[in-house]
Amino acid sequence: MRTHAIWPVKILSIIVFLLGLTLLVGGIDLISAGGSWYYAISGIFLLVSAILLWANKKSGAVIYGIFFIGTLFWTLYESGFNIWGWIPRVGLPAILALWLVLCLPRLGAGVSKRMTGSLVGIIVICFAVAIYAVTGTQFSFTSGTPAPNQPLVNNGTTTTNQPDSDWQEYGRDANGTRFSPLNQITPKNVTHLQVAWEYRTHDLPPKDKPNKWAEENTPIKVGNGLFVCSATDDVIRLDPATGQQVWRWNSGVKYDSVPYTAACRGLTYFTSKVVPQGQMCHNRILVATLDARLAEVDAETGKPCDQFGNHGQESVMQGIGESVPGWLAMNDAMPIVNGVIVTNHEVLDGQARWAPSGVIRGWDAETGKFRWAWDVNRPDDHGLPPAGKTYSRGTPNSWTTMTADPQLNLVYVPTGNSAGDYYSAERSPLENKVSSSVVALDATTGHVRWVFQTTHKDVWDYDMGSQVTLFDYPGPNGTSIPAMLVPTKRGENFILDRRNGKPLSPVVEKTAPAGHIPGDPRAPTQPFSVGMPQFRKFARITESKMWGLTPVDQMMCRIMFRHSNYDGDFTAPSLKRPWLEYPSYNGGSDWGSIAYDPQTGIMVGNWNNMVFRDQLVTREYADKAHMFAINDPRYRPGTSSAEGAGAQAQTPYGVLVSPFYAPFTKMLCDEPPYGMITAVNMHTHKVIWQHALGTGQYNGPFGIPTHTPVNVGVPNNGGPIITAGGLIFVSATTDRELRAFDVRTGKEVWHYVLPTGGQATPMTYSVNGQQYVVITAGGHHFMGTPPGDYVIAFKLPSQGDEQGK
């Protein structure tokens, strides 16, 4: 009987011994790297405790108690009352402490039941407090000051010309505000939202091919048509009231043309000034395809517009030169400025220094004829390349949605960095001048009017992912300045005068770390927007901010931190050991961009907060690891891509790129939250409120979903919208939810679980007096949400419906 009673103690002693041994060995490594002594010291205490517990001595419990109390004080010292800092430090030790307390009556002469019960009660109360803290508002911030309710300026000139009921452009309007003046759905009635209709595009990845699907589409609504594009660019017109298909144009895009991902973010609606009203192709839908074509179809019938290009299509590959399917692709809505379509395109990252050009071009919107080109290394030559020549190869590409100002006749191009993303020695001065910038081009000629650079000599993949947003900004003596908001992956938010690119809020150049690669020096300074709130969690990451679910996870992350180069922002790429990138290229604002309410001056952005751990590798290493460029006969899918391993052929180095994970559990090494949503008062440039965004429902150790509804703040892709009804709608998160927030308070007032990830930006419109909210749920391979083909619309119940009473 007694032997049977002590088996729980024996098992516990084995677990404590293994934990202690792991912490001791890892702790010695951490000390040798200049890190904390806590783990090695804790390992010694746990080993002693385990040996004594195996011998059935109460002193083993005493030693464990000393370890546990010491851990509490150490946690308080390092993390204060930040509950996420307590989880890896105290969670597992507290569970073992509870087990040990329950075993006290079996140890030695035993402990009274009253004492045991009291200790169990204390530990249970601690667990209850921790659970409450985790599920509460740990990462919520509210300023306490009322949200503004009036425009920034009363005499603004930035206007949109469309009915309130429509959503005519990717960002709702030409300014990219993602704001709708509809107000039928409000914080008071949003809980009554219900599914109005659901449409399936039936555009899914082949079962025998790698999943590279992420539809990302925001539909547009013009009049009585709702226009959707599928993941591989089929264009579909739906009845906005019923979701019934009216027509479908098949793009013919093949799987081999899919680059990093199959995505069609948006379409463009165009009204011809040549074709009379009532005739075919007076109103057109423009789509840019993954296999590099521009196509225009009649908005009423879906039939190709023969007067455009070659029977409705125009290839954009002329002058590009060598390429292969999947290297160059188009997936954004194209702006049309004073009769000119302006095109950009994605060039797959990580392949080769002399990749296809990132040239920006203008085309006649009526006929598809070439009008002009902006080739970075031929800035004054706006024609086609001479026979036998190509546009300059390897130049910065622009892969996200552009914005245009027809009054100024400018198109604003968010640029990336040159090919060979993490190595800059071979770039020209002209490339260095315009990479990771906003470049304003004359829409008639393609001439550069101004450049504002957000990262100098970018080797961190801080390419511009967000569409810029146009708005009116207060000028001197009550005047209005035509301005733009420029969100970045760095989490810096710039305000520029869109006439000349000059900052309207303070920007300073701060000293940046030096480089590690011979012959490839880094820029001595980098720009910071000190006049606007940052979309980032830490000013600087530290060893104490490393995370994990257990002390072992956290210790491993701390060891990796100490064995990496980190000099703060813009830590330079290195060859001999990894470097940490924070914010990472998946930080701040990406292609989802921000939303801006011109009626109140409130800006809203959802953003990522992640650390990446990267390393340059020799060409010999890259070849042995089969890291070959997409145009190399030895290339195999997955061996060199936009994420992970990059060949960077024609440079001395390949590159390894990865989120900063714990090696076994694959939990991120920095503390949550990893995704946030923030509202900013643009009258004062102050944060109104800020919350963690998204639960850990489909995230967890070893990639296993935890199905816990804890608002941990998860990675997200896709942007927010604001309505005049006082709501923010946003999906984007890995927990597959579409959410509504009260824009004034930040309170979540409604959510709906989608069939897969809604990695897209929602939109809203009205028809027959009823407001609808629509989200595309197509999943996202990088975000870990499974592929889907859903377009789902929500509305309030019709009058008389019992649910709406």
Residue numbers annotated as active site: 461
Helix, strand, coil abundance in the chain, percent, nearest 5: 20, 30, 55
Sign of dihedral through CA atoms 657, 663, 666, 671?
negative
What are 793's strand-pairing partners? Answer: 197, 774
CB atoms within 10 A of CB 409: 16
Phi and psi (nearest 5°) for 766? -130, 150
Least Cα distance to 360 among 429, 267, 253, 288 occurs for: 288
**CB within 8 A of 339, min separation 6: which ones?**
273, 364, 365, 366
First vs last C-alpha separation in the chain: 66
Cβ density class 684-697: b for 16+ within 10 Å, e for less: ebebbbbbbbbbbb
Euclidean distance between CA atoms 739 and 578, whole angstroms: 38
Q: Are 288 and 239 within 8 A, CB to CB?
A: no
CB 510 within 8 A of CB 526: yes
> In this structure, are residues 672 and 699 in contact, taking their beta carbons and an 8 Å threshold?
no
Residue 675 and residue 692 in contact, taking contact as beta carbons nearer than 8 Å = yes
The DSSP secondary-structure symbol of 165 reads T
Q: Helices 551-562 & 83-103, crossing angle to 10 degrees? A: 140
Task: Tell me which H or E stretch contains 284.
Answer: strand 283-288
Distances from the Cα of 789 to the Cαs of 59, 183, 213, 338, 759, in angstroms?
62, 29, 10, 35, 12
Cβ atoms of 467 and 401 within 8 Å: the answer is yes
Helix/strand/coil (H/E/C) assignment for every residue in 620-644: HHHHHCCCCCCCCCCCCCCCCCCCC
Q: Helix or strand or coil: residue 368?
A: coil
The Cα 387–Cα 122 span in angstroms is: 82
Which whole-number Å values give the CA distances from 302 to 218, 247, 290, 550, 622, in the listed order?
Answer: 19, 6, 19, 57, 47
CA distance 166 to 179: 11
**How far apart (Å, rounded) are the C-alpha atoms in residues 248 and 236?**
4
CA distance 121 to 278: 78
Torsion of CA 84, 85, 89, 90, to 10 degrees: -60
Q: How far apart are CA 198 and CA 777, in angstroms?
A: 11
Report the greatest alpha carbon distance in the chain: 99
Are the C-beta atoms of 765 and 221 separated by less than 8 Å?
A: yes
Distance, C-alpha 604 to centroid of its chain: 15
How far apart (Å, rounded) are the C-alpha atoms in residues 216 and 598? Answer: 25
Burial 12-50 (b: 16+ CB within 10 A, else e): bbeebbebbebbbebbebbbeeebbebbbbbbebbbbbb
Nearest to 84 by CA among 141, 142, 134, 136: 134
Task: Return the SS3 of 342.
Answer: strand
